[in-house]
Amino acid sequence: MRIALVISVALFLAVPALALDRINLLFIGQVLSQTCPLPFWFESEPAARYTIVPTKSHGSMGYEEARRQIRLYFPRTRASTWEYDFFMFIDPYFDPFTASQIDFMYSAIVEGKSGGFQTLGGMTVDSSEPAYAWLQSALAPIFPNDPTAVELWRQGASKIGAYNVILEKSADLAPVLTPFLQVGIEEIPGYWYIVPIAPQEGATIWARAVGAFPALSGPPFPWLLSWQVGGGMTWSVADDLDCPWWSDIYHPSKQEYGLDILMNIVLHSLGRPLPEDVIVVNAVRRDFRAYDERASIINAFIDFVEKFGASSNHITSEKLAADAMMERAMESYMEGRYAEALETAQEAHSALMELERKTIRLKDQALIWVYVTEWAAVSATGMLAGYSIFTLMFRRRLYRQVEVTRLGSGIN
């Protein structure tokens, strides 16, 4: 555990330089890692840090448990709620929230210039009932999906077809989604669950779900909406992040840019510059995630060999050097120098792969004495057992010769 402590301290000292520019996110609703890709996506995202407030988990979380989660993780004051830059409502179960907690979020978006994103248009927490707690809250009117379109939702909720997301190509739209045309964003199939959403007056339509509701007439329904409300920007999407268009949580998915698309939405909402080359940014983010996964394996190996008394000092120093290299990549990433970040991240990743091979060799060296000891113990036991069997059963040195006595024939 000593190595883990050293690395943790080193990383802690390096974080403040990045923390000032990080985006604070609050995830609310169905946001546990088993049912939502957000924790996995943002675990290795240097530009953001997040807090989870789970209020729904496919029948395993009732009203009282949701209330308990809110008490534990939701901000306790208006000021602490305003510290979040962006709120994500993922199929939210809103009944357990108090009026004051809803007011905290409302004021953070409208007055505090935070952003907001809701899935399924905020209309549903399951396939049978509209989310009336959401529709009747102060938050519903500040999102671009019309909260009064309940009848439209009822008509389309159970009549779902496969769909494709077709982007609006207007030159007036910021390049939030259009950079992903080169990676086939319009060819990715969507299916499983989506609801019809209706834009409020003044909302911007970014894309439409073509083929989603074959039983409903008219032009393709909007898939993604946004609008400016007060100082903040809010978004409504017609499907959910656990649907195959976004991720592979429940079904196979061809989507490889879910996090990149969502981060573009967040960055645009907060007035931050958008990356020009989404392919490079996607590669950097993948390297960050792969580095974290490989680093955790190496730390486990180092803890293991130290338990056997092996010296890991040279491995530790090389690991810290690779971590410092990755920190430089993250600094470049935070400053928008994505190509430089990718190059540095790949160098750090290569160094870590070589370090993994060295750690495995060190582990094998530490284990060889375990193997020798076990071999000696087993061999000694076998030799002792063999000698005992040979002495007792074959040479019989511990036994006397059996003497035979018989009755004499002259006995009367």
Nearest Cα to 229, choosing from 204, 208, 266?
204
Over range 70-83, report the average pLDDT.
Answer: 96
Q: How many Å is the maximal CA-CA distance in the chain? A: 136
**β pairing state of 163-167 and 189-190:** antiparallel
Residue 141: band (very low, low, confident or very high) from pLDDT cuts 50, 70, 90: very high
Give tens-digit pLDDT for 22-61. Answer: 999 999 999 999 889 999 999 989 999 999 999 988 766 8
Helix intervals (H) in 183-312:
258-269, 278-307
In this prediction, residue 9 carries a pLDDT of: 36
What is the CB neighbour count within 10 angstroms for residue 339? 13
Greater confidence (312 vs 244) lies with 244
Residue 122: band (very low, low, confident or very high) from pLDDT cuts 50, 70, 90: confident
Nearest Cα to 74, choosing from 107, 100, 112?
100
Domain ranges across the chain: 2-274, 280-367
Domain 2-274 in CATH: superfamily? Class I glutamine amidotransferase (GATase) domain (3.40.50.880)
Task: Tell me if the pTM is above 0.85.
Answer: no
Nearest Cα to 78, choosing from 103, 104, 57, 52?
104
* Secondary structure (3-state) at 377: helix
Do the beta carbons of residue 141 and residue 147 sit within 8 Å?
Answer: yes
Do the beta carbons of residue 113 and residue 232 sit within 8 Å?
Answer: yes
Cα 385 to Cα 48: distance, rounded to the nearest angstrom: 65
Give the side-chain half-sphere CA count within 13 A for 314: 8
Do the beta carbons of residue 345 and residue 291 sit within 8 Å?
Answer: yes
CA atoms 145, 150, 152, 153: torsion sign = positive
Percent of the chain surpassing pLDDT 70: 80
